[in-house]
C-alpha cells in the first residue's frame, strides 16, 4: 500500500513581510528605557546611589542582583 506525500503546490515565492521602522521605533525606545530603569533598580539601587530610602527595593531584587553578578554584600 503506497502512501501519498503532499507536495507543495505554491508557485509564487515567499515574500518577507515589511516592518515599518517608524511604527517599531517608539516601542523600542520605550522598552529600552524600561529595561534601563529595571537594570538600575537591580544593579545600583543601593547605598549612595539609592533613590528609595530603606532596604525594601534592595531586598526585593536581591536574588536578581546575585544572579546577574552585581556586587552586593
Ligand atoms: Zn546580596
The whole-number pLDDT of residue 72 equals 81
Output the CA 33–ligand 1 centroid distance in Å. 25
Output the CA 27–ligand 1 centroid distance in Å. 33
CA-based radius of gyration for the chain: 25
Return per-residue pLDDT of the chain as tens, 73 residues. Answer: 566 777 766 678 889 888 889 999 999 999 999 999 998 888 887 777 778 787 788 888 888 889 989 888 7
Classify the C-alpha dihedral 49-53-54-59 as positive or negative: negative
Output the CA 64–ligand 1 centroid distance in Å. 9
How many CB atoms lie under 10 A from the CB of residue 46? 19
Output the CA 29–ligand 1 centroid distance in Å. 31
This prediction has a pTM of 0.61
Amino acid at each position: 500500500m503506497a502512501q501519498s506525500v503532499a507536495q507543495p503546490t505554491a508557485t509564487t515565492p515567499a515574500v518577507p513581510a515589511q516592518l515599518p521602522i517608524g511604527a517599531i521605533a517608539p516601542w523600542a525606545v520605550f522598552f529600552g528605557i524600561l529595561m534601563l530603569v529595571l537594570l538600575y533598580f537591580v544593579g545600583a539601587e543601593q547605598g549612595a546611589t539609592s533613590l528609595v530610602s530603606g532596604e525594601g527595593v534592595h531586598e526585593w531584587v536581591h536574588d536578581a542582583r546575585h544572579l546577574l553578578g552585581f556586587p552586593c554584600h
